[in-house]
Every structure is written in structure tokens, then in C-alpha cells.
Amino acid sequence: MGDDPCETKTRVFEEALRCDSAVATRRRPRPDDDAMIRRECQRRVLSLAGVVVACALSLVVVVGREKHAARYIVTGLSHSYNITGDAMRDNDRHCLSPVAAQKIDSLEEKIAEASTYWRLRKDAPTYYALFQTAKREAPDALTVLDVGAFESPFVTRLDWIPTKVATDIQSRPEIWEHVDGVAFIQGDFMQLKFGTRYDLVLCSQVVEHLTDEVVEIFVTKMASHASVLVVSTTHEMPHGVIEGHIQDPISRTKFEGWFEESKRWGALTHVSFQKTVKLRHPNGTIFMGENILGVWRRHEG
């Protein structure tokens, strides 16, 4: 039987860190070590280059300022959820080296101290589903854009992608100062001009806050900048349960309709549903929330 891929990834990563740490694991060399270490070192160099590229991408973004640019601001979310599920972060990290996992945990805890939004959500099942989908649909991605990230450093968990960019119309810049390796752009996504297409574009729990006039145009613009687009939102959530959710309830038909215009150059290839967390209805009843997650992929050629 071959080596477990998770063990192989961890072993190679630790070997590549020998120049940085005096506590690297000592063991007998294997015949394929040199090649694997070279590949890992190349990835580390690419990761560093990715940070430079991400910063450069942020410089080519032109922000348009309009009086009503904030018409789809996310509001009231910090007090909407009553998360009671088990922590999911360990599942996201099972293929990371202890060093990488510890670095991500430290970063997320630091942001959680400053952000109620992230403190309430960092262990939510939503991010587990998003991570697994990104890993499956874009395993070779070199660039990623997180649209509507707000104060969520989730994109840092995508450790195989060297160039990471996040954007939101509202966020505290000081939150993102802690996040190394991610270029954060504060602005209205509908007014931003991007000079590149991203291998992966993510949008988690954003579209439910958009008006009918904006939502399909918003999804179409994301698709226009993506090779793979992953969108997650609430599914059949009763209207009024979560403050600021304009689009609730969202059916599968309604969700798929937002991708109609982007069919010209791509298609929805996967739609799934995930149970999320226990929520309290305004009438006092407790029910289990559910998300719908769609994967759109650009046609080849």
C-alpha cells in the first residue's frame, strides 16, 4: 500500500522547514525525499511570490464611490446565531502539518479576540463544507478571491493556494492587519475593477443580504472573474429569522436562477445542502438551519 497522502504532506512539509527550525523531525531518508522536498521548497517560494502578487492585485483595483454603494451592507449578524454544533476546524486541518495548523489557530484566535463576528462563527459547520468543496473543486488553484469576507480569515485555511485576496464593503482594516499573506481590499464589489481572473472565487453567506435588483448581477460579476465559483447561502430559511436576510426564504430554483446570465460561459456543476446550526425562530421555536452550496465552473476553451 502507498503512503497516506496526509502523512506524506506532513512529512514533506517538515523536511522543507529544516532550514527554519532546529527541531525538525530526524529520520532515515527515503529515495523520493529529494524530489518531494524540492517540490515543497518550490511551493514555499511560490507562496512568498503569491503574497507579492496579491499585493500587486490590490493596487490594480479601482474603487468606485457612490452615494448608495452600501445598499447591501451586511447588518445585525453578530447577534443572530446561536451556534451549538461541534467544532469543525480540526476536520479542515487534518492534512496540515502541526506547524501550519498552529499558525492558523493562533491567527484565528487573535482575530476572534477583536471580532465578535468571527468569534461566533469560526467553528461553524458552514466553513467545514466550504473548505471541503474548495479542496475538491480547486485542488490546483494558485489564486483565490473571497468576496464578502467581512472579518472572517477563512481564506487562510486554504493553505495550498499561494495568492489570496479578500474583499468586503465594510470591515475594520485593523482586523486584517493581523492576517499575513492575504491582500484585503475594502470596497463595494460591484464597483471594484479586477485586473485578473481568479482560479477560485468564494462567496459565503453574502447573497442572502442583497436586493432583488442586485443579486443576479452580483453573482454574474463573480462568475466573470472566476474559473471556479463557490457560493453558499441559507436554504429555505423562514423570512425574519436572521436580521438583514433580504432574500430568505431561498429555494433551489431561486438560487439556480441567479446563475442564469453566467450560463453564457459556464454552468452550475454541483448543488448540495448542509445542515448548519440550531436557530431560534421569532416565535420561540428552535429548528435546524440548512445551507445550499453551489459550484459554478467555467467552460473549457
Question: What local confidence, expressed as pLDDT, does residue 282 receive?
Answer: 82
Question: How many contiguous H segments (helices) and E segments (strands) does the chain have?
Answer: 9, 7
**Can you give the three-state secondary structure of 264-276, one letter per residue?**
HCEEEEEEEEEEE
Q: What are the cell numbers at 37?
A: 522536498
* pTM, to two decimals: 0.69
Question: What local confidence, expressed as pLDDT, does residue 298 receive?
Answer: 97
Question: What local confidence, expressed as pLDDT, does residue 99 receive?
Answer: 59
Question: What local confidence, expressed as pLDDT, does residue 96 receive?
Answer: 57
With cell 475538491, the residue in question is 136
Question: What local confidence, expressed as pLDDT, does residue 122 receive?
Answer: 75
Q: Which residues of the chain have pLDDT under 50?
A: 1, 4-34, 36-37, 41, 44-49, 51-94
Q: How many CA atoms lie within 13 A of 220 on its CB side?
A: 12
Question: What local confidence, expressed as pLDDT, does residue 125 receive?
Answer: 84
CB 296 within 8 A of CB 228: yes
Question: What local confidence, expressed as pLDDT, does residue 118 receive?
Answer: 74
Q: Enumerate the H helices of the chain as residue ranges.
A: 5-16, 33-59, 89-92, 98-114, 116-121, 125-137, 173-176, 212-224, 252-257
For residue 134, what is the DSSP state?
Answer: H
Q: How far apart are CA 288 and CA 252, in angstroms?
A: 18
CB 171 within 8 A of CB 189: no
* H or E element that contains 112: helix 98-114
With cell 492534512, the residue in question is 95
CB atoms within 10 A of CB 27: 10
Tell which CATH architecture fits domain 63-298: 3-Layer(aba) Sandwich (3.40)
Question: What local confidence, expressed as pLDDT, does residue 107 receive?
Answer: 67
With cell 492558523, the residue in question is 104
